[in-house]
Structure 1
Amino acid sequence: MRLILYIVRRLLILIPTLLGVTIITFTLSHAFGPNLAIAVYCTPKLGACDINNPFLQPIVQQFHLRDPIPVQYVFYMQGLLTGDWGFTTSAIKGGMPVTQAISIFFPQTVELAITATVFATLVGIPTGTVSALRKDKLPDHATRIFALIGYSIPFFWLALLLQILAISLVPGWEITGGYSPSSISPSTEPWAFVDLGGTYQLFSQPTHFLVLDAALHGSWAVFLDALKHLVLPTATLTIGILGVVLRMVRSGMVDSMNQDYVRTAWAKGLPDWVVTRTHIRRNALLPAATVIGLLFAGLLGGVVLVEDVFAWPGIGYWATQAVLQFDAGGVMGTTLIFAIFLVLINLAADVIYAYLDPRISL
């Protein structure tokens, strides 16, 4: 019951946080004049995004775009709550509703973040364990140096470095995008395409995870191609967060090994592997679990530059294009999504921590 009340309290805190995000992004986007404000609700079919465009007057009246900014904000929030987040005007998805663009781009970012987090966890926990058990010896020194280098290198610089290495070592490796258009065609993979009036566009239904959708459809050519494009951005993010996981696991285990209950377990003659697994590593994973959750949340925001370098079709790449092209609808939509998931994942990390350690007061 206490855990449920804790979750409810944290969810209530989500409301003012998101209100603050919407106020800041709305005010900044509307500070550049009414034409940029109306671009949130404008599509190419309606002509120029000009507040004096006669075709746009119903939109001007509906959202009160000639009124003061506080009044416009009230009607903007009304649209958000009813599912009308406006339109994106950036070239990659120009004229598409923001909610639809989010449903296409965001799964690609989640796919990238999940893959990197899983690999960092699978490698970081055992490596951190070995580092702690071999404290101040060669494996420990090597691990600590790698961890220091890993989280000191900026994501975008590491992404560029891996691109150069991939081109040098594997000529012909396509290092950008989420798939190779030349190897996937509507005639061979009809499930992956939607007909847009005679032109075809990749549309990875039903999950928008291209790797997963290809596997579900048994299209192994698409699966391998998408997996190939996933390698470099995943490696970039994995190396970037692996150092943090290593350091957290190592420091937690070193601290646990100095506790009285661990020395008592060894004094009783318990095997080293039992003491390590049951008494040391289990307690060391408590702070690591929270950090891994925060790292995953951070990837959803920090992945922006990595997606831009690799032209990965995720929400970060869309956010970059929206900023460069003054796409107010895209900027506000992506910022709000990042804020929502950051708060929710922080909540999930705290709940997991409390579940693993009942001593924590909620």
Structure 2
Amino acid sequence: MLRITLIRSLTVVPVLFGISVISFLVIRMIPGDVISSIMGQDFGDPAVEAEMRRYFGLDMPVHEQFFTWFGDLLRGDLGTSMRTGQPVLDEILQRLPSTLLLAISALLVAVLLSIPLGILSATRRNGPLDAVARVVSLIGLSVPNFWLGILLVYVFSVSLGWLPSQGASEGGGLLDNVRYLVLPAVTLGASLAAINMRMTRSSMLEVLNQDYVRTARAKGLAERVIMVRHALRNSLIPVVTVLGIELGALLGGTVIVEQVFAWPGLGTMVIRGISQRDYPVVQGTLLFLAFFYVLVNYLVDLVYTYLDPRLRSGH
């Protein structure tokens, strides 16, 4: 187990290095830079522009800019925003709670919808409920997040006036916070619920066909006991694995939903950084999100290895 843990830990390093290189280069492939974003394309004083490029280090060759940034990164410094002058890490930590709240809420929505529906669909295979659940999951997989978000805003905010359409609660109570959170969480959790429902259904069907389930029925155990103690516990292992991976992906996947609902999270910060060519903000945020995603995948991989002895033995 220790050997496997060390091997998986070493694989994280090249992944993060590759992500740092890609994030550094891709943002610089976009036409323009922070100087032209601040001053406009028609600014007429080349001397001031050259001085600002020197101040931000943009006059250096790209490889020198990368090694300077990467050296600071190894010391835990993600850089300073060219727009606000604030450390990028501080800005990330300010917005991280909002993104985590949205991601965890969306995951909770997905769990509450998908697991019961997946179990019912598997236990009533080929029945009317199974057919309806599969159609609903197919719709959930097919509908884009941004379109679903706009539709929910139109129905529940514009037409009915039940929920706020944008923003987050500032200093309100629990109920007020929940009202702002409902629409973005449902929008983000819908596609996850569809994926997990199908995963739960297929996993449950596989377990129900195992010999130990048939043996339990032959011994006369109640169907409820068979489902809870035998089928459900074993069928949820792959589902829990997928949920853990989705939590890591959700942090980066909230970008579009945050834009639709003007949610003050990391996604909004990345979009703002791209539009303003704020290189340190974009590079630092993308690397942070990638690190979190890789970390969650790494932890899920270790947990799954611990739960399944066959992976530890190499079979």
User: Normalising by structure 1, what TM-score?
Assistant: 0.77
SS of residue paired to 1:88: coil
Aligned to 1:337: 288
CA contact (8 A) 1:148 1:243 kept: yes
Aligned to 2:42: none
Aligned to 1:174: 164
8 Å Cα contact 2:141/2:194 also seen in 1: yes
1:12 aligns to what? 10
Kindly provide the CA deviation profile for residues 185-238 of structure 1, in whole angstroms up to 9, marking residues without a partner as x. Answer: xxxxxxxxxxxxxxxxxxxxxxxxxxxxxxxxxxxx433322211111011112
Cα gap change, 1:297/1:123 in structure 2, threshold over 3 Å: closer, same or farther? same
Q: Which amino acid aligns with 1:249?
A: T
Distance 1:5 1:38 in 2: 51
**Map of 2:273 onto structure 1:** 322
Shift of 1:28: 3.2
State the 1:172 CA deviation. Answer: 7.0
* Residue in structure 1 matched with residue 144 of structure 2 by the alignment: 154
Aligned to 1:73: 66
Aligned AA (1:234):
A
How far, CA to CA, are the matches of 1:104 and 1:244 in structure 2?
Answer: 31
Q: Distance in 1 between matches of 2:235 and 2:162?
A: 44
Distance across 1 between alignment mates of 2:177 and 2:111: 23
CA distance in 2, matches of 1:274, 1:161: 42
1:106 aligns with 2:57: no
> 1:345, 1:133 → 2: CA distance?
32
Of 275, 297, 303, the residue aligned with 1:352 is 303
SS in structure 2 at match of 1:9: helix
Q: Mapping of 1:197-346 within 5 angstroms? A: 221-346=172-297
Q: CA deviation at 1:36?
A: 4.1
Q: Deviation at 1:17?
A: 0.9
Evaluate the alpha carbon distance shift between residue 340 and residue 292 of structure 1 in structure 2; reply closer, same or farther with a 3 A threshold.
same
Unaligned runs of 5+ in 1: 40-47, 185-220
2:76 corresponds in structure 1 to 83
Shift of 1:38: 12
1:321, distance to aligned residue in structure 2 (A): 1.4
Amino acid at match of 2:138: L
Q: How many pairs does the alignment contain?
A: 304
Secondary structure at 2:310's aligned position in 1? coil
Aligned 8 A contact 2:69 2:79 in 1: no
C-alpha contact 1:38 1:51 (8 A) present in aligned 2: no
| Equivalent residues of 2:273, 2:282 under 8 A apart | yes
The one-letter code matched in structure 2 to 1:97 is P
Shift of the alpha carbon at 1:147? 0.9
**Structure number with higher helix proportion:** 2
Give me the identity figure in percent. 37
Compute the RMSD of aligned alpha carbons: 2.5
Kindly state the Cα deviation for residue 327 of structure 1 after the two structures are TM-superposed. 1.7
Q: Label 1:248 to 1:32 Cα distance change in 2 as closer, same or farther (>3 A).
A: closer
Distance 1:50 1:332, change over 3 A: farther
- 1:12 is aligned with what amino acid? L
Structure 2 unaligned regions, length at least 5: 38-46
Q: Is the Cα contact below 8 Å between 2:35 and 2:49 reproduced in 1?
A: no
Specify the code of the residue in structure 2 equivalent to 1:341. Answer: F
Q: Indicate the residue corresponding to 1:22 in structure 2.
A: 20
Contact 1:125 1:246 (C-alpha < 8 Å) held by counterparts: yes
Which shifted more, 171-180 or 289-298? Answer: 171-180
Letter in 2 for 1:155: N
- Native 8 Å contact 1:120 1:242 kept in 2: yes
CA distance in 2, matches of 1:49, 1:161: 48
Preserved contact between residue 256 and residue 280 of structure 1 (Cα < 8 Å): yes
> Structure 2-normalised TM-score?
0.88
Which residues in structure 2 correspond to 1:127-166 (within 5 Å)? 127-166=117-156
In structure 2, give the amino acid aligned to 1:28: V
Q: CA deviation at 1:333?
A: 1.3
The answer to whether the Cα contact below 8 Å between 2:137 and 2:198 also exists between their aligned partners in 1 is yes
Q: Helix, strand or coil for the counterpart of 2:168? A: coil
